[in-house]
Chain A
Amino acid sequence: MAKRVAIVATGQTEHAANRWDATGGELIGEAVRRALEDGGLRREDIDGVIVGNMDHFEGINGVEHWSIDANGGLLKPVLKLTTGGTTGSTLAVAGYHLVASGLFERLLVVGWEKNSESDTTGAITTAFDPVWDRLVFAGAVSGLAVEASVYMRRFGVTEKDAARAAVRDRRHALNNPHAHLRKEISVSHVLDSPMLADPIKALDMCPRSDGACAVVYASEDAAEKICPRPAWILATATRHLYSYLGDVQLYPLKSLEAASGEAYRKAGIREPRKEIDVMELYTPYSFANLSWMEALGLAGPGQAARLIWDGATDMGGELPVNPSGGVLSTNPIGATGLIRAAECALQIMGRAGARQVPDVQVALSTGFGGCMWSDLLIYGRHKPA
């Protein structure tokens, strides 16, 4: 019989542009130690480990084996998962399945990246088809710039609207001691920042961070013994739809629309805006904070900007989004999707400190990456039926 599954402990490193003081293995060790301490667990209590990052950033093949001293997996089952930007959320989804299967009772899930060692755009470019896509349409920023252009053109959304969404995330990061960028910015700062790929400017875009995140998943047999108020997983969905950028429909984001539709159905959510209390979205650039809200069914087509300007997604608003400061403030890529899961878990546990949203019953996290792919998880305060 399948088990119900909860997140019971989390650990994050200090995230920074360059963690000169730590190797990749040491970053992993820092997050793992913190997660185990958080759950009052020892390494022996863990049944298995899954690890993820993007190999070409650090140039290490077989990271799960290379990091065996740090990741806690010695003489245990260890798996490596990699799906690009969605790696962290793919890990979060895998943690659920592996524990729900009954094969593991307490599983450690680790995502990490040391972007300071990488040529991030150079590596991402190689994800795309060498014949059809790589020379014309590859990399992280340019594809998103096309998506933003389509969205602006179609609905009359402006760069200023997107800038307001960036301001929100960066302001929220002031409450998060783990955030990489902790400096408030204004709409005019964003508009005046250097152009990367029209209409995306430097402050519209996420940083590259060094960091790691570790999360302990437990089955219903162990969860409440480790954590008095665990974050139960209510639903997961993944949509890695496309191989070629030319196949992508740029509005609405189909992968997120499909993944959220499936997850809402599984979790019995009919009115997401009313029923979900907080969201941690993998929105790697400001425009995603607008158009992807529409894919999530939170606003009508072209209507998300109003939500942002009204402050509905700010702390204290109707549906706070990215209390952690989101991806625009912190982005150790292989960990980024898992940080979203850890932050949702902290919100459910009531342990999010200065970034806590009051009385969170239901939380939602997403992952984004690959060829405009999406993953999604929904968490609940109460054990699912």
Chain B
Amino acid sequence: MERVAVIGVAQTVFEARKEAETYADLVYEVADQALKDAGMDISELGNIVTASNDFLDGRTISSMAVGDAAGAAFGGGLNISTVEGDGAFAAFYGLSRILSGGYSTTLVTAHSKSSEGNPLLISNACFDPVYERALGLDFISAAALQARVYMERRGLSERDLAEVVRLNRAKGVLNPHAQVRREISISEVLASKPLAPPIRELDAGPLSDGAAAVILAGEDFARRRCSNPVWIEGVSLCADARMTDRQLWESAALRKAAQAAYGMAGIANPSDEIDVAEIYAAFSYQEPLWLEELGLGAMDKSRVNPSGGCLCAHALVSAGLVRVIEAVLQLRGKAANPAPEPRRALAHAQSGICGQSHCVWILGKN
């Protein structure tokens, strides 16, 4: 793979409800900031990929609401496309547009406002309308089934998972973009309201309104224009069977995506060769599950989700792209809880019920 770098990143502050801002306002904020972060003028931008979800936005063609804000009409019009799913998946498409030789830079944006809809009902629409929907499954009750079977397999207790929450929340205190920035104790987690046993309110990432953006650039542009490019060493994605058709205590798709990304980056021993990891764990149980499948089960917890992860801010559609952004900030030495001299970072994203798809990014300084 030819070399492509992340040269600009931006994220909003994530909040439970952003009353004053439309989707377009959020996307404009991050597109503008990402360009500034990259030291670029919009006239230098090659093309755009936006990420959004029609159900969450309550609009068909949800990309239409944010095209203007992302710069689609600039200078007679830029080539633009839209991925539905997490922004990290959109960034994969954005990367391919540079590698195809057509563009030197791609702006990738992602946005959502969970506060404007009913995320439980919306996630019920991911299930088959005939066979599954009437069971009342949604992304939390489905996750509860996955949590139960994973805890059973690994002998994990609710207290073990509460410890995952405690650690993430402690890290999130220093993250200026996080939605919740207060330390909590294990007993607070265990005393919080059950959502779908064994998942309690504090085991679930707080749903957020917000947006994120990155700018990717080919090697020439990145070297010429950027003093601190973060290089993409490997990236892959993989989709699994529907949750009703697979074993929920494991993820063949994540193993496969990780192996492919490690292969591209020339990584043989991930836990030795990756210095810091940002994992899209929407619930406490997902952090050990995804780490295990990434081959990072033994990684020191101080190097996992230094941002506080999705347990401190969970903006659907943006959350995976935020993991990429936090990994970039780590490699720049500009993150809230900087890992000591990291050279290589991993960012993980998921999409679909119980992590049906996964996307793994390996980023490096050299």
Contact = CB atoms under 8 A, between A and B. Distances in A.
A307 B75 CA distance: 32
B125 A75 contact: no
Interface stretch (B93-101, B198-206, B326-334): B93-101
A82 interface: yes
B125 A100 contact: no
B292 to A, nearest CB: 18
A64 B100 contact: no
Given A55-B54, A62-B352, A101 B84 contact: no
Contacts of B64: 84, 127-128, 240, 243, 370-371
A300 interface: no
Interface stretch (A89-97, A145-153, A165-173, A287-295): A89-97
A369 to B, nearest CB: 7
Interface in B79-130: 79-85, 89, 92-93, 95-102, 122-123, 125-130
Interface stretch (A65-73, A188-196, A314-322): A65-73
Interface in A48-88: 49, 54-57, 59-62, 64-66, 68-69, 73-84
Interface in B198-235: none
Contacts of A54: 54, 60-61
A98 B96 contact: yes
A77 B238 contact: yes
Interface residues of B, number: 65
Nearest to A371: B64
Contacts of B61: 54, 82-84, 127, 369-370
Contact of A78 (B60, B126, B127, B239): B239
B55 interface: yes
A177 interface: no
B99 A61 contact: no
B99 A239 contact: no
Contacts of A124: 60
Nearest to B255: A75
Contacts of B183: none
B67 A242 contact: yes
A81 B100 contact: no
Nearest to A93: B81
Interface residues of B: mostly helix, strand, loop or mixed?
mixed
A262 B24 CA distance: 27
A56 B60 contact: yes
Nearest to A117: B129
A130 B24 CA distance: 13
Contact of A68 (B73, B80, B242, B351): B242
Contacts of B126: 60-62, 65-66
A49 B89 CA distance: 13
Given A75-B252, A97-B96, A90 B81 contact: yes
The CB with the most chain A CB atoms within 10 A, among B61, B66, B85, B238, is that of B61
B253 interface: yes
Contacts of A81: 81-84, 93
A164 to B, nearest CB: 31
Contact of B99 (A65, A94, A100): A100
B59 interface: yes
Contact of A75 (B77, B84, B99, B238): B238
A82 B53 CA distance: 9
Contact of A90 (B59, B82, B89, B353): B82
A299 interface: no
Interface string B26-52: 000000000000000000000000000
B63 interface: yes
A203 interface: no
B2 interface: yes
A84 B242 contact: no
Nearest to B352: A65
Nearest to B74: A241
A370 B245 CA distance: 36
Contacts of A371: 64, 67
B68 interface: yes
Contacts of A60: 125-126, 129
Contacts of B242: 65-66, 68-69
B352 A97 contact: no
B258 to A, nearest CB: 13
A1 to B, nearest CB: 7
20 contacts: A54-B54, A55-B60, A55-B84, A61-B126, A65-B239, A65-B353, A68-B241, A79-B85, A79-B89, A79-B92, A79-B237, A81-B82, A97-B97, A98-B96, A100-B102, A103-B99, A236-B102, A237-B79, A242-B67, A370-B61
9 closest A-B pairs (Cβ-Cβ)?
Answer: A2-B101, A101-B99, A100-B100, A84-B61, A101-B96, A78-B239, A61-B125, A243-B68, A127-B61
Interface of A: 1-2, 23, 49, 54-57, 59-62, 64-66, 68-69, 73-84, 90, 93-94, 96-98, 100-103, 123-124, 126-130, 236-244, 247, 254-255, 258-259, 262, 369-371
Interface of B: 1-2, 24, 53-55, 58-69, 72-73, 76-77, 79-85, 89, 92-93, 95-102, 122-123, 125-130, 236-242, 245, 252-253, 256-257, 351-353, 356-357
